Amino acid sequence: MIITCEKCGKRYNLDVSAINRPRVRVRCAHCNHGFTVRNEPADERKTPYPEGGPTPSGHAVFAISNQKGGVAKTSTCLNLGMSLALLDKKVLLIDFDVQANLTISLGFSSRAQSFFDVLYAGSENLSDYIHETRFPGLHLLPSNSRMALLTKYYMYRPGFETLLRNRLQQIVDQYDFILIDTPPALGFCTLNALMAADHVLIPTPCEYLSMQGIHRIEDIIHFVRRKSGRDIDYHILVSMHNRRSTASEVIHRKIRDMFGNRVLDTVIEHDEKMKESQIVHLPVCEYDRTSPSARQFMQLARELAAATGGDAQQRD
């Protein structure tokens, strides 16, 4: 069983096969912090999805979400997706934000057909609206301004919250990872993304108000768990981190203390190369593969691939 120290984030592979107690007290060899972990039976560590769940074994759907704006959701979706593609994963990016920044970042017109057009046309075939990008292994379902009409046309229809999940059923086995970029507000798009996901990735900068954003999205995840009957997992990604800032470092430690093993080992640091890559509409690992943020996104891709049962061999 993989466990993570609640204080320093150090991970360990703990052999609990001979331990019958439901809870185990352990101590971190790195920081000497003592904490308790739950010893779940082997057949309960992965919650199977009931009929109609979002993904079969071997595939992962991530909603990238935070109710606070300006936390690098879109750049995380783009650069994580590109990094996973470099690990020879087949990746679908879904732009579910009316601003269509992910769509534009990949060189597509903001007038490209979106999920709204799928529903408006009455289509069940999502594949007809998915585009190959110029990067091998990376595909996109674009967004456009008509996504703003989803609330007006569909929000209060029975089962509106599962419209995306239902359509993903037909294509999910074609991809190793599906990443959904969501807007910074709870509405049709965010709720559909969370209902379709089996993981939620919460990017957060080390700012005082960022922890409030995490708490809000946690509340929504708990609601979705009750609504769907699925134990959706979630992970917190520290983004845009400035190690030279005392305030940023203090909040970073507080986030790790507060959320424990929910916080990923990988940290995405503040990097000018990231800003430059956005200007030229390129993922940072295509713009400058040697930059700190490019290396960190590749590390993030490996961490999530390992956590979801995939290998992590980088393509040349």
- Looking at the predicted structure, is the pLDDT value of residue 283 above 50? yes
pLDDT at position 79: 97
Give me the mean pLDDT over the 107-132 stretch: 94
pLDDT at position 282: 93
Main-chain phi, psi angles of 10, to 5 degrees: -65, 135
Return all residues near 153 (Cβ < 8 A) that are at least 6 apart: 116, 119, 120
> Any long-range contacts for 264-267 (C-beta under 8 Å, 24+ apart)?
264/235, 264/236, 264/237, 264/238, 264/300, 264/303, 264/304, 265/4, 265/9, 265/11, 265/303, 266/237, 266/296, 266/299, 266/300, 266/303, 267/238, 267/241, 267/296
What percent of the chain stands above pLDDT 70?
83
Q: Is the dihedral of CA 152, 126, 221, 216 positive or negative?
A: negative
One-character DSSP codes across 204-250: E-S-TTHHHHHHHHHHHHHHHHHHH----EEEEEEEEE-TT-HHHHH
CATH fourth-level superfamily of 54-307: P-loop containing nucleotide triphosphate hydrolases (3.40.50.300)
pLDDT at position 134: 95
Give me the mean pLDDT over the 291-300 stretch: 96
- Looking at the predicted structure, is the pLDDT value of residue 47 above 50? no
How sure is the predictor about 202, in pLDDT bands with cuts at 50, 70 and 90? very high
Task: Centre a 10 Å sphere on the Cβ of residue 128 and count the other Cβ atoms it contains.
Answer: 11
pLDDT at position 137: 97
Tell me the CA distances in angstroms from 295 to 14, 80, 271, one per residue in order: 28, 11, 11
Give me the mean pLDDT over the 3-8 stretch: 62
pLDDT at position 1: 60
Distance of CA 218 to the CA centre of its chain: 14
How sure is the predictor about 308, in pLDDT bands with cuts at 50, 70 and 90? confident
> What stretch(es) of the chain map to CATH 3.40.50.300?
54-307
- Looking at the predicted structure, is the pLDDT value of residue 55 above 60? no
pLDDT at position 113: 96
> Any long-range contacts for 256-259 (C-beta under 8 Å, 24+ apart)?
256/6, 256/7, 256/8, 256/9, 257/6, 257/7, 258/211, 259/214
- Looking at the predicted structure, is the pLDDT value of residue 235 above 50? yes
Q: Which of 66-75, 172-181, 230-239 has the highest mean pLDDT?
A: 172-181
Give me the mean pLDDT over the 121-125 stretch: 91
Length of the chain: 316
- Looking at the predicted structure, is the pLDDT value of residue 127 above 60? yes
How sure is the predictor about 22, in pLDDT bands with cuts at 50, 70 and 90? low
- Looking at the predicted structure, is the pLDDT value of residue 211 above 80? no
pLDDT at position 89: 96
How sure is the predictor about 302, in pLDDT bands with cuts at 50, 70 and 90? very high
How sure is the predictor about 175, in pLDDT bands with cuts at 50, 70 and 90? very high
Residue 161 and residue 195: Cα distance in Å, rounded? 7
